[in-house]
Structure 1
Amino acid sequence: MSVKRLEQLAQAEKTAFVFPGQGSQKVGMLAEIAEQFSEVRDTFNEASEAVGFDLWQIAQTGEGLNQTENTQPVLLTASIALWRVWLSLGGVAPKFLAGHSLGEYSALVAGEAMSLGDAVKLVHLRGKLMQNAVPQGVGAMAAILGLADEDVVALCQKVSESATGSVEAANYNTKGQVVIAGTAELVNAVMAEAKEQGKKAIALPVSVPSHCSLMKPAAEKFAQALEQTAIELPCIPVIQNVNAKAAANVEELRQSLTEQLYRSVQWTKTIAHLQEHGVTYIAECGPGTVLSNMAKRLPNIEKTFALDTQSRMEDALNTILVAEGKIA
């Protein structure tokens, strides 16, 4: 899709598209919708050619799917495949785009800030650098449920002051749900403290402690790759993770992508930004329903959609076109 083509699309006033990050992958993703729409396999073929290995085979067999360096390009490609199906069906151009962690790259490709080929190469490298930044077993992540954001931050600071290593808030997902990341021993200590207060703490099955200071070495190397990648400002505003706002220029965009590796994902503020700007419909463009399920519990969100099957795609298409006044 060219910028001109996107500009020709009907523009939504109430709809945002959000793109999921790591953790939404599943074996066999998009198999059903690929049977109905050639855009899915075409997109996977294009991305596979760029990175030099078969992303569709990984997605369907699961072999190597949970290795970060594979997970990231597969998920990005799946999201863009669904985005292209949406456009082929005559879907509106959303008012905003946003992506959770890795999903920010999907949003930028959808907004034509970078090509799919460049993006899959970037996130493949991103996954490798993240994996190599911290030895296996040294880092960890966990979800803390039921505590206010500031209480989670205070717990992390308390634990970090009394031991070697670090633990930080990594993802502010929704009210009462914060993911922490850092040195495994300290992550476990925060979990124990939260449980002592009667709250829930769930260890996440990840091999990389994302969005914390342990990722700074990876960010330094990744910044070099970003500088060598052709990037433009997106033609649909992309709300970025680190500051919950759209970049004013390309340098700011690159800087935010670099910082995203070691700073927390401000997803709660991102969704608040969308709501403050009139968004009442949110479509999750990627495998699964993680982001749409989080958003459906929020006030003033009329409906959320997942797009990863034909029936879900058609439901979203019809409902949003009516809501946006594009069809009666």
Structure 2
Amino acid sequence: MSAKPLEQCAQAEKTAFVFPGQGSQKAGMLAELATQFSLVKETFTEASDALGLDLWHIAQSGEGLNQTENTQPVLLTASTAIWRVWLSLGGLRPKYLAGHSLGEYSALVAAQSLSLTDAVKLVHLRGKLMQSAVPQGQGAMAAILGLSDEQVLELCQIATQAGSGQVEAANYNTKGQVVIAGAATAVQLAIDHAKAQGAKAIALPVSVPSHCSLMKPAAEAFADALEQTAIELPKVPVIHNVSADVAKDVVALRLALKEQLYRSVQWTSTIQSLQDQGVRYIAECGPGVVLSNMAKRLPQLEKTFALDTPSRIDDALNTILVAEGQIV
């Protein structure tokens, strides 16, 4: 069964799809889905051929899966495979798409702004550039739980002014949950200050300090690749990380992807924007439940879904078709 062309899909009015970023990967992802839908392995073959890597083997064995240059194309391919399965089953075209960090590229592939082959090449390079921008061990990230955005910004400022390097807010994930990134010593100092205020602070097991100023050299190099890649305006509106808004032209879209490397992910604002635009159902198109769990906190959302197993896709498909008036 092949994916139905996007323009032939019925349009949803209450549903958005979101695509996860790094951290959602796990060995064996999509194995159950692949036993029922040949589209899964076909999608991985298409992406693998573009890179000369066996992405399905990496995804199933876990060998090299947590190396950033591998993680990014594997996750993008996994999300694209799920999206294609959704369309093949008669799923609706969402009102909006959005992706967290790397997930923005998955959203752009779903919106036919980028081809899968171009996108996996881009994110493979993106991972390499991010990894090489900061020497191993010199950068770090941490999740701060229980403080307001303003309090997190203040502790970042205090830690930076102490002279041990710069630390910044990297991901505004949801109210009371902000990820910080920067120089390892400064991140540790910010962790200490957060705990002193009674907050929970968790150092993240990452090799790259994403979405902070340390990534500016990577962004400059990446901009050349973006200029050489064919990009079209999305056929479904895609909300960008850096602005929580929709790009109006391809020039703005390319700039948003470049700046995404060193600017904060505005995920709290992104999800709030979806809610403000009448979205009541959010489906997470990728392995895991990170984004769907975060979205559950929003009061106006009626339900969130994960789509990484056949039973979860079936539940989402039936519920959304009824909610959108496609099944009476």
| TM-score of the aligned structures, taking structure 1 as reference length | 0.99
User: Structure 1: how far apart are the matches of 2:22 and 2:287?
Assistant: 10
1:116 aligned residue? 116
2:3/2:84 contact within 8 Å kept: no
Q: Which runs of 5 or more structure 1 residues have no equivalent in the other structure? A: none
Measured against aligned partners, the alpha-carbon deviations of 1:57-97 in whole angstroms (never above 9, x if no partner) come to: 00000000000000000000000000000000000000000
2:18/2:107 contact within 8 Å kept: yes
More deviation, 161-170/74-83? 161-170
1:72 aligned residue? 72
Q: CA deviation at 1:162?
A: 1.7
Partner of 2:181: helix, strand, or coil? strand
1:253 aligned partner, one-letter code: L
Q: CA deviation at 1:5?
A: 2.5
2:67 aligned partner, one-letter code: Q
1:182/1:209 contact within 8 Å kept: yes
Q: CA deviation at 1:230?
A: 0.1
Identity, % of aligned positions? 76
Q: RMSD of aligned C-alpha atoms? A: 1.3
Q: CA deviation at 1:164?
A: 3.6
User: Structure 1: how far apart are the matches of 2:271 and 2:233?
Assistant: 21
1:62 aligned residue? 62
| TM-score of the aligned structures, taking structure 2 as reference length | 0.99
* Aligned structure 1 segments of 4 or more residues deviating by more than 2 angstroms: 2-5
Q: CA deviation at 1:293?
A: 0.3
2:301 aligned residue? 301
1:239 aligned partner, one-letter code: I
2:235 aligned residue? 235
1:163 aligned residue? 163
Q: CA deviation at 1:3?
A: 12
Q: CA deviation at 1:296?
A: 0.8
User: Structure 2: how far apart are the matches of 1:223 and 1:55?
Assistant: 25
User: Structure 2: how far apart are the matches of 1:5 and 1:29?
Assistant: 26
1:273 aligned residue? 273
2:181/2:210 contact within 8 Å kept: yes
1:79 aligned partner, one-letter code: S
Q: Which runs of 5 or more structure 2 residues have no equivalent in the other structure? A: none
1:6 aligned residue? 6
1:240/1:246 contact within 8 Å kept: yes
Partner of 1:318: helix, strand, or coil? helix
1:261 aligned residue? 261
Partner of 1:171: helix, strand, or coil? strand
Q: CA deviation at 1:6?
A: 1.3
Q: Number of matched residues?
A: 328
User: Structure 2: how far apart are the matches of 1:260 and 1:199?
Assistant: 27
